[in-house]
Amino acid sequence: MDRKPSFSIIGAGKVGSALGVLLQELGYLPAAVYSRTFSHSKRLADQLQVAAAPHPAAAAAAAELVFITTTDREIAAMAAAIARQGGCRPGQIVFHASGALASDVLAPVRAQGAWAVSMHPLQSFTSTAGARANLPGSCFALEGDEPALERAIEIVKDLKGRYFVIQPEDKPLYHAAAVIASNYLVSLVHLSASIYRQLGLDEEQAMDALFPLIQGTINNIARSGPAGALTGPVARADGATLRGHLRALQKMDWRTQQAYRAMGLYTVGVAMENGNLTPNEAVAISNIFLEVDNHEQKSNYSRLPAYETGRHPHYHANRLRLSDGHLGRCFRYRRHPGGGLPR
Domain ranges of the chain: 6-171, 181-329
Looking at residue 258, its pLDDT comes to 96
Largest CA distance in the chain: 75
pLDDT digits (tens, 9 = 90+) for 91-118: 999 999 999 999 999 999 999 999 999 9
Is 80 exceeded by the pLDDT of residue 321?
no
Looking at residue 30, its pLDDT comes to 98
User: What is residue 45's DSSP assignment?
Assistant: H
Is 90 exceeded by the pLDDT of residue 33?
yes
Looking at residue 1, its pLDDT comes to 52
Looking at residue 149, its pLDDT comes to 98
Of the listed ranges 180-194, 206-220, 328-342, the least confidently predicted one is 328-342
Q: Which fold has domain 6-171?
A: Rossmann fold (3.40.50)
* 182: amino acid identity, one letter: S
The β-bridge relationship of strands 115-122 and 139-144 is antiparallel
Torsion of CA 35, 143, 73, 77, to 10 degrees: 60
Is 50 exceeded by the pLDDT of residue 214?
yes
Q: What is the mean pLDDT of residues 236-263?
A: 96
Cα–chain center distance at 268? 24
Q: What is the mean pLDDT of residues 129-149?
A: 95
CA distance 91 to 82: 15
Looking at residue 2, its pLDDT comes to 77
What whole-number percentage of the chain has pLDDT above 90?
Answer: 82
Looking at residue 316, its pLDDT comes to 30
Q: What is the mean pLDDT of residues 29-33?
A: 98
State how far the alpha carbon of 321 is from the alpha carbons of 23, 89, 324, 329, 334, in Å: 38, 43, 8, 9, 13
Is 50 exceeded by the pLDDT of residue 231?
yes
The β-bridge relationship of strands 327-329 and 319-321 is antiparallel
Is 90 exceeded by the pLDDT of residue 208?
yes
CA distance 163 to 144: 13
CA distance 46 to 282: 60
Q: What is the pTM of this model?
A: 0.81
Q: What is the mean pLDDT of residues 240-260?
A: 96
pLDDT digits (tens, 9 = 90+) for 270-299: 999 999 999 999 999 999 999 875 444 443
Of the listed ranges 93-97, 191-195, 209-213, 308-312, the least confidently predicted one is 308-312
CA distance 116 to 108: 10
**Whole-number mean pLDDT of the chain?**
87
Cα–chain center distance at 66? 23
